[in-house]
Amino acid sequence: MVMEIGFGMGETTASIAAAHPELSFLAVEVFEAGIGSLAMHLARLNLTNVRIVEHDAVEVVRDMLRPESLAGVHIFFPDPWPKARHHKRRLVAPAFIDSLSGRLRHGGIVHCATDCSTTRSR
């Protein structure tokens, strides 16, 4: 299983799932419009290898996934808040990465892309 955290409107998730029908995907998002959009993409493409979870990714990883249950994780552009006051809301932080690493199987891959120039607030 590959988990995608924060899939936005779901175009990329649907494309990746269509390109890899042999994989199961767990798509985690809190943005309702994005959830509906991904559901429409999945229906249009007749994809059955994606499950959607409407919940906070930190809690999903911490409370809902077994250790070593993930083959991979996609985290695309997770930190849109460059202001110092938003620092506590950043997903990519040591505590979350520690939790996430326990859910990855040996050899699992984290693919993370960001346009944030720094992970520290100034």
Containing structural domain, residue 58: 2-113
Token readout for 96 is: 């979350």
Per residue in 25-57, pLDDT (tens digit) is: 999 999 999 999 999 999 999 999 999 999 999
Indicate if 79 belongs to the active site.
yes
Closest CA to 60 of 93, 22, 30: 30
Q: Is residue 120 part of a domain?
A: no
Q: Is residue 7 part of a domain?
A: yes
Q: Is residue 119 part of a domain?
A: no
We report the CATH number of the domain holding residue 60 as 3.40.50.150
Contact 25, 47 (CB under 8 A): no
Residue corresponding to tokens 């050899």 = 107
Token readout for 106 is: 């040996």
Q: Is residue 80 part of a domain?
A: yes
Amino acid identity of residue 114, one-letter, is T
Task: Look up residue 66 and give its DSSP letter.
Answer: -
Q: Is residue 19 part of a domain?
A: yes
User: Rounded to the nearest 5 degrees, what angle is found at the Cα of 38, between the Cα atoms of 36 and 43?
Assistant: 95
Catalytic residue among 56, 63, 79, 115: 79
Print pLDDT tens along the chain (122 aa): 999 999 999 999 999 999 999 999 999 999 999 999 999 999 999 999 999 999 999 999 999 999 999 999 999 876 655 666 656 667 777 888 999 999 999 999 999 887 766 555 44
Number of domains in the chain: 1
Beta bridge partners of 55: none
pTM for this model (two decimals): 0.86
